[in-house]
A and B are shown apart, each in its own frame.
Chain A
Amino acid sequence: MLSEQFKKDRPYLERKFKTQICNPATGLDNETLKSNLIRLTEELNGEPHELIKAKAFRYVCENLVIDVNPQDFFVCFGCWNRYDRPLSFLMSKWEDEVNKNCLKELKTLEEQNASGSSKMWKDFDHSVPDWEAVLSLGFPGLLERVKTYRRKCEADGKMGLDEKAYYEGLEITYAAILKMLDRFHLYALEHSDGNQRVKAVAACLDSLRKGAPSNIFEALQLIYLFFIFGEHIDRFQVRSLGNLDRMLYPYFQHDIAEGRYTEKEIRDFFAYFMMQWASIDNYWGHPFYFGGSKANGETEINDLSYLILDVYDQLDIPTPKLQIKIAANTPVKFIDKALDMIRRGHSSIVFLSENAIRRALLGQGCTEEEARTCVISGCYEFIPQGRGNGTCAGHINMLKPIELLFHNGRDPKTGISCGIKTGELSEFKTFDEFYKAYIQQLEHIIESVLKCANDFEKYLHRINPAQVYSGTIENSLKTAKDAFHNGSVYNISGILNAGFANAVDALMVIKDFVFEKHEVNLAEFRDILQANWQGHEKLRLKILNSKNKFGNGIESVDSFAEGLALFLANKINMRPNSRNGFFAASMHSARQFIELGEKTGASPDGRLAGEEISKNASPVMGMDKNGVTALIKSVTKIDSALFPGDFPLDVMMHPATVQGNEGLNAMRSLLKTYMDKHGIAIHFNIFDANVLLDAQKHPEKYEGLQVRVCGWNVRFNDIAKREQDEYIKRALSIKE
C-alpha cells in the first residue's frame, strides 16, 4: 500500500514539473537566466562548441533556482519545463548553422519530409548512460575518470585541439554538477528547519558530492539527478532509467540486512521516485526496465522487482513506462502480475524476448555477453550497455512508393518530384512489373534517407555535444570522441518505417483487383484515389472486405510480406553510417504512423487520404479479422533478426477474452508463443469499444483511462478526437 504521507504529498509531486515552484531567492528567474546565457555564449563565440556548451551548462548550474522541499525526497531544479529547457537555444542556433553551412543534401531532406516519403530529423532523444559506471563511481568518480583519461591522452601524445576541447568540456560539465550538488546540500542544511526529511536529503546529497551512493535512497537520488542534468540541462533525452531491479538489488539487500531502511520506507522511495516522471509527463513516456538473465542462467527477477512493480501498479500512471525482458527462466508469478496489471488498464508495459534480442544483436556482431546485458531503451530498442548508441535517423513511409508510382515519381499533393520516373501506368502489363516499380520507388526513398542521414549525422556533435552522457561511456573517454556521435563501440543509426502492412495490403489489392479480376485498371484506380474514393464507395467496401490482408495467417500474403521485409532490411542493415557505425532496420513506427499518414493520399487498400497508416509489425487497424493467433503467425513469418532496430507487435483484445484465470493463462501462452517464434516486443491494448465511446462522451468519468499508442501510453482524455476515433474504430472490430 502507498503510505499516508505519500498520499498527502502526491498533489505537490504532481505539480512539481508543471509549474515553477522553486525559491526565487536561490537564483535567477528563467528569463534572466536565458538572456544571460545568450550573452555569455555570444561572448564565447569562436571557441569550440564543447567549451561553449560546458560553460553555459556551468552557468545554469550556478544560477538556476533550486529547492529542497519537505514534501519530497528528491531535490527540485528550476528548469522544470522540458519544452523550454535553458540550453535549447544553443542547439537550435548550431543546427541552423549546420543546415546553412554544412549540409549537402538539405534540399533532398526537405523534399522528402515535405512530401511524406520519409521523415528525418537530428535525433538527440535516445541516449542511455552507462548506469553501472554512474552508480559505481558517482559524480566525483566520473570526473576523476575523465581526468585520468585526459592525462593518458596527453602521455600518449595524442592531445590535439579536438581532444583538448572534448576533455575540457567534460571536466567543466562534471565540476559544475558537483558544484550544484554543493548548492543543493547547503540549501538543505540551511532550510531544514528541523524537518527530518530535508535533513535526510541533505545527508544524501553530502554523500553524493563526495562519492558513489552507498544505499538505495542515494542510488535513486543519483539516478534522478543524472537524469535532470542529462535531459533537462544538457538536453539529451535519457531514454532508460536502467535495469532498476538488477542495479538496485544489492543496495536493497544491504539496506534491509543492516536495518537502514524498512521495506515500507523503500516502497515510499520508489513511489516518490516514479512520481518525478509522472509529473514530468513526457508524452513519449520514460522507460525503466526489468528482468533478463544472469550469466549463470538464473533470472534477474528478484524481491525488489516485485516490490517496484507493485508500487508502480498502485500509482496507476502512464509514465514512467516499463519494459520487461522475458526469458525461459522469468517466473510465471511475475509475468502474471504484469499481465494482470495490463488487463486492468495499467498497461504502460511492453514485453521483450531476451532470446530474440540475442539473435538480433549477434547478427550485428555483438558478443553473447553484450546481448545478455543489453539495455532496453526508448520504446523497445536495445543496445549493448555502455557500449552502444542508437539514433532514430529516419522513418520511411512504405505506402508512399505506391502513390509515387501512380504519378510517375511525383507526389500528387505537394507536386514534389521526390520519386523516380518508373513509367506511365499503361506500361505495367503484369503485377510483377508493377511490383518491380514499387521496389524501385522504395529503394529510391531508402537511398535518399541513408544519404541524408549520413549528411546530417556527421554534425551531431557540432550541434549538441553530449557531455553529461559521454562522461559515462568508457570508449568515448578512451577515444576522446563524443559518445553520441562516434565515440561508442556501436554507433548505430536506426531507420524506422510506417505503413508496412498498408503497403502489403495495397499491393495485394492491385494484384487481385487490377491484374487478376480486372475490376478496375490502373488509370481508373489513380483517378479513384485522387478523388479520395468519392463515387466509388462500393469498390472501396469490396476492397476492405477482401480477404488478402496482412495479419490473417494467409500463407500467400504472409510470404509476400516476408519478401518485402527482406528487401527493406537488406537495403539498410550493416550499411556504414557517417558516425563510424552502421545502419539498422527497424519495424518501429514511433508517431510517424499518424504524421506520415496525414501526408499520404488515399491508397489502394481502401484507406482514405490522410488516415493513419499501420504501425510497427502490426496489421492495418481492423484488417486482422482472424484473431490474435493468426496475427502472430503472420507477423512472425518475418524473421525479427532482420530488424535489429526493433520488432514490435501491438495486440488488441476485448476484456472478456482475458478475464479470469483462463484469460490470464491465455495471455501468458500467447506471449510465450510469440517469443518462441522469435517475436521481439509485444504489448497489449485491452479495451471495450463501449467503454471508449462512453469515455469520449463523459471524459470526467474516465480520468485514469490509458491507451497504448506505439511504445508509450497516453491518457485517453489527452488525445485528439480524431485519434480517439481511430481507437474506437479498432475496438469495434475486436471480437470477444
Chain B
Amino acid sequence: MSTEGIVFEIKRFAVHDGPGIRTTLFLKGCPLRCLWCHNPESISPHPQLAYYAHKCINCGECVSVCPEHAHAISLEKLHYFERRKCRSCGKCETACLGNALQLYGMRMTVQETLNAALEDRDFFGDDGGVTLSGGEPLLQADFCFEILTALKRQAIHTALDTCGQVKWKTMSMILNCTDIFLFDFKAANPQKHHKLTGSDNRQILENLQKLSDAGAEIEIRMPLIPALNDSDEDIHEAGKILSNLHIKSIKILPYHNMARSKYDALGMANKIPASSSQDNVNSLHAVEILRNYGLEIN
C-alpha cells in the first residue's frame, strides 16, 4: 500500500468512463503521441505546472512563494513564467488567487488513492465503480495492480481505460482484477497508426487479441478525428478486425478541440486539427458501417 504513483486528476461522478457512476483516476504518462490528444497534461510521466494566462490577476502571490524564482511580475503588471526553472513543487498553485496555476500530477500512495477513489462508494450502486485512466495507466503497472487488486478484494467494479501500447505481460498481470477494459482503437492500418500516434499498432492488436481470447470484457473506444481516421476505408478496416474479436460494444468518441488552451498553458505545441459541424454526421456514418459488421455500438 505504500507504492506511489503520479495521479493528475480524480474525477468523481464520472458517467462516461464505464458503467454506472464511477470515480476515474487519471494517471500520468503515455507511450503514444496522438496528434489530437485532448489530455496533453497526461503525456509526460512527471508533474507539470500549467499556467492559464487568461485567469491571471497579477496578484503576485506566486512570485513570493516560488523557491526557484520561476515567476515574475513586471512593472507593467505582466506575468512571466520561466518553465525551465520550475521544479513542480506546487507551492504557487496553492497560493494563486486567480486559480491560474494548476499542477498536473500529485504523488500519491496506493492507500491515499484508494481512500479518494472510495469516497463515492455509496453512489456506485450495482454497476458503478472505479476506472483507471490516463495517459496510459499501465505505465505505472505496479501502482495499477495494487489498486485494482485492493478494489476487487472489496468487491468494487473496476475498469481500465488503456491505449494498449504496453507489453502483454504488463496487461496479463492485471487481467484478473479488471472487470472491463476500455480499449482505444485509433487506426487499423499499422503505417497510419504510426503516423497518427508515433507508434505502430502491432503490440496493441496483439494485446487486444489476447484479451479477447482470454474472455475479458472489452469496450472499444474509437476517437473519430476528421480527415485523419474517419474515412470509409478506415472504418471498414476497423470493422473487419473488430468483428473477429469478442467485443462487448464500441463507443464512438466524436472529436472536439477544446484542449487547445491546455496546450498553451503547459507550454506545449499543438497540432490538433480543427473540428467542424460535419463531425457529428461522420460519427453517425461510422456507426452505420460498423453495425453492418454485426458490432454493437453504444
- Please indicate the chain A residues that have their CB under 8 angstroms from the CB of B12 in the complex: 626-627, 629-630
Q: Chain A contacts of B120 at CB under 8 A?
A: 629-630, 633
Which A185-202 residues have C-beta < 8 A from chain B?
none
- Is the beta-carbon distance between B122 and A677 smaller than 8 angstroms? yes
| A8 proximal to B (CB < 8 A) | no
Question: Is A542 engaged at the interface, CB distance under 8 Å to the other chain?
Answer: yes
User: Given that A538-B97, A541-B98 are known contacts, is A672 also in contact with B125, CB under 8 Å in the complex?
Assistant: yes
Number of A-B contacts (CB under 8 A): 60
Minimum CB distance partner of A656 in chain B: B16
B15 touching A663 by the CB < 8 A rule? yes
* CB-CB nearest in chain B for A541: B97
The reply to whether B20 and A665 form a contact with Cβ atoms under 8 Å apart is yes
In the complex, which residues of chain B have a beta carbon less than 8 angstroms from the beta carbon of A541? 57, 59, 97-98
Given contacts A541-B97, A545-B97, A666-B15, contact A633 B21 (CB under 8 A): no
**Minimum C-beta distance from A623 to chain B (A):** 14
B1-24 near A? 1/0 per residue, CB < 8 Å: 000000000001101100111000
Is B119 an interface residue when CB atoms closer than 8 A count as contact?
yes
Q: Contacts of A661 on B, CB cut-off 8 Å?
A: 298
Complex CA gap A665/B125 in Å reads 11
Interface residue? A696 (CB, 8 A): no
- Cβ contacts under 8 Å, B122 to chain A: 633, 673, 676-677
B21 is contacted by which of A626, A630, A670, A677 (Cβ under 8 Å)? Answer: A670
Give the contacts of A618-632 with B (CB-CB under 8 A).
Answer: 626-630, 632
Residues of chain A contacted by B99 (CB below 8 angstroms)? 545
**Residue A71 at the B interface, CB < 8 A?**
no
Task: Please tell me if the beta carbons of B16 and A662 are within 8 angstroms of each other in the complex.
Answer: yes
Q: Give Cα A660 to B19, complex, Å.
A: 12
CA distance A533 to B59 in the complex (A): 16
Over the window 106-138 of chain B, the binary record of Cβ atoms lying under 8 Å from chain A Cβ atoms (1 yes, 0 no) is 000000000000011011010110000000000
A626 CA to B120 CA, complexed, in Å: 11
**Nearest CB on A from B184, distance (A):** 18
> What are the residues of chain A within 8 A of B21 when measuring CB–CB?
629, 666, 669-670
A553–B119 touching, CB < 8 Å: yes
A657 contacts chain B at the CB level, 8 A cutoff: yes
CB distance from B51 to the nearest CB of A (A): 17
C-alpha gap A731/B120 in the complex (Å): 23
Once the chains bind, are B128 and A669 in contact (CB under 8 Å)? yes
Q: A633-B122, A665-B20 are in contact. Are A627 and B13 (CB under 8 A)?
A: yes
Nearest A residue to B99 by beta-carbon distance? A545
| A583 to B165 alpha-carbon distance, docked (Å) | 65
Closest chain-B Cβ to A655's Cβ sits at a distance in Å of 12
Secondary structure of the A side of the interface? helix
B12, B20, B57, B123 — most chain A CB neighbours (10 Å): B123
**Given A541-B59, A629-B123, A669-B97 contact (CB < 8 Å):** no
| Bound form: Cα–Cα A645–B98 in Å | 40
> In the assembly, what is the distance between CA of A283 and CA of B99, in Å?
38
| A660 partner residues in chain B, CB cutoff 8 A | 16, 298
Contact B20 A669 (CB under 8 A): yes
- Min CB distance, A558 to chain B, in Å? 12
- Min Cβ gap A659→B in Å is 8
Which range holds the interface residue count of chain B? 20 to 34
Of A538, A542, A629, A677, which contacts B13 at CB under 8 A?
A629
Complex interface residues of chain B between 1 and 51 (CB less than 8 A to chain A): 12-13, 15-16, 19-21
Report the contact-size class of chain A (Cβ under 8 Å from the partner).
20 to 34
B123 close to A669 (CB less than 8 A): yes
Chain A residue numbers with a CB within 8 Å of B16 are: 660, 662-663
Interface string of A580-617 (1 = CB under 8 A from B): 00000000000000000000000000000000000000
Complex CA–CA separation, A669 to B125 (angstroms): 7
User: In chain A, what residue has the closest Cβ to B98?
Assistant: A541
With A629-B12, A666-B13, A666-B20 known to touch, is A673 a contact of B123 (CB < 8 Å)? Answer: yes
Bound state CA distance, A512 and B13, in angstroms? 29
Report A633-677 CB contacts with B as 1/0, cut-off 8 Å.
100000000000000000000000110111101100110110011
* B126 nearest in chain A by CB position: A669
Question: Which of B13, B21, B59, B298 has its CB near the most chain A CB atoms (within 10 A)?
Answer: B13
Shortest Cβ gap from B136 to chain A (Å): 22
Counting chain A CB atoms within 10 Å of each CB, which of B20, B97, B99, B298 scores highest? B97
The 0/1 profile, CB within 8 Å of A marked 1, for residues 175-193 of chain B is 0000000000000000000
Give chain B residues whose Cβ lies under 8 Å from the Cβ of A663: 15-16
Interface positions of A from 549 to 579, Cβ below 8 Å from B: 553
- Tell me how far the C-beta of B65 lies from the nearest C-beta in chain A, rounded to whole angstroms: 13
**B94 nearest CB across to chain A (Å):** 9
How far is A669 from B121 in the complex, measured between Cα atoms in Å?
A: 12
A433 to B228, CA, bound (A): 66
With contacts A665-B20, A666-B21 known, is A657 near B97, CB below 8 A?
no
Contacts of B119 in A (CB 8 A): 553, 629-630, 633
Report A-chain residues with C-beta under 8 Å of the C-beta of B123: 629, 632, 669-670, 673
Complex CA distance for A660 and B12, rounded to whole angstroms: 18
A674's nearest neighbour on chain B, judged by CB, is B123
Query: Per-position contact with B for A660-700: 1 when CB-CB < 8 Å, else 0?
Result: 11110110011011001100000000000000000000000
State the Cβ distance, A393 to closest chain B Cβ, in Å.
36
Chain B nearest Cβ from A710, distance in angstroms: 23
Q: Give Cα A666–Cα B20 distance, bound, in whole angstroms.
A: 6
> From B256, which residue of chain A is reached at the shortest CB distance?
A656
A460-483, CB under 8 A of B: which get 1 and which 0? 000000000000000000000000
Residues of B within 8 A of A628 (CB): 13
In the bound complex, how far is the Cα of B57 from the Cα of A503, in angstroms? Answer: 28
CB distance from B77 to the nearest CB of A (A): 14
Given A629-B120, A629-B123, A669-B128, answer yes or no on A657-B59 (Cβ-Cβ < 8 Å).
no
> When chains A and B are docked, how far (Å) is the Cα of A662 from the Cα of B119?
21
Provided the pairs A670-B21, A670-B123 are in contact, do residues A538 and B59 lie with their beta carbons within 8 angstroms? yes
- Shortest beta-carbon distance from B280 to chain A in Å: 12
Q: A670 vs B99: C-alpha distance in the bound complex, in angstroms? A: 29
> How far, in Å, is A510 (CB) from chain B's closest CB?
20
Chain B nearest CB from A91 CB (Å) reads 48
C-alpha spacing A660/B252, complex, angstroms: 12
Check A657/B98 contact, CB under 8 A, given A541-B59, A669-B123. no
Q: Nearest B residue to A664 by beta-carbon distance?
A: B15
Q: How far is the CB of A584 from chain B (nearest CB, A)?
A: 28
B121: nearest chain-A partner, CB-CB? A629
B56-112 residues with Cβ-Cβ distance < 8 A to A are 57, 59, 61, 97-99
Give the chain B neighbours of A633 by CB distance below 8 A.
119-120, 122
Complex Cα–Cα for A661 and B12 (A): 18
Cβ distance A736 to chain B, nearest Cβ, rounded Å: 9
Minimum distance in angstroms from B297 CB to a CB of chain A:
12
Residues of B with C-beta under 8 A to A665: 15, 20, 127
Residue of B nearest to A653 (CB): B13
Question: How many Å from the CB of A323 to the closest CB on chain B?
Answer: 24
- Tell me whether A657 and B15 are in contact (CB under 8 A): yes
In the bound assembly, the distance between CA atoms of A446 and B19 in angstroms comes to 47
- What mask results when residues 257 to 296 of chain B are scored 1 for a CB within 8 Å of chain A, else 0? 0000000000000000000000000000000000000000
Residues of B within 8 A of A669 (CB): 20-21, 123, 125, 128
Q: In the assembly, what is the distance between CA of A630 and CA of B123, in Å?
A: 10
A residues within 8 A CB of B97? 538, 541-542, 545
| Nearest 9 CB-CB pairings of A with B | A666-B15, A541-B97, A629-B120, A627-B12, A629-B13, A627-B13, A673-B123, A629-B123, A629-B12
Please, could you name 9 A-B residue pairs with CB atoms under 8 Å apart, sorted by A?
A628-B13, A629-B12, A629-B21, A632-B123, A633-B120, A657-B13, A663-B16, A669-B123, A669-B125
B interface residues with partner A (beta carbon < 8 Å): 12-13, 15-16, 19-21, 57, 59, 61, 97-99, 119-120, 122-123, 125, 127-128, 298
Given contacts A630-B12, A666-B13, A666-B15, 18 further A-B pairs with CB under 8 A are A538-B59, A541-B59, A541-B98, A626-B12, A629-B12, A629-B13, A629-B123, A633-B120, A633-B122, A661-B298, A662-B16, A662-B19, A663-B15, A663-B16, A665-B15, A669-B20, A669-B125, A669-B128
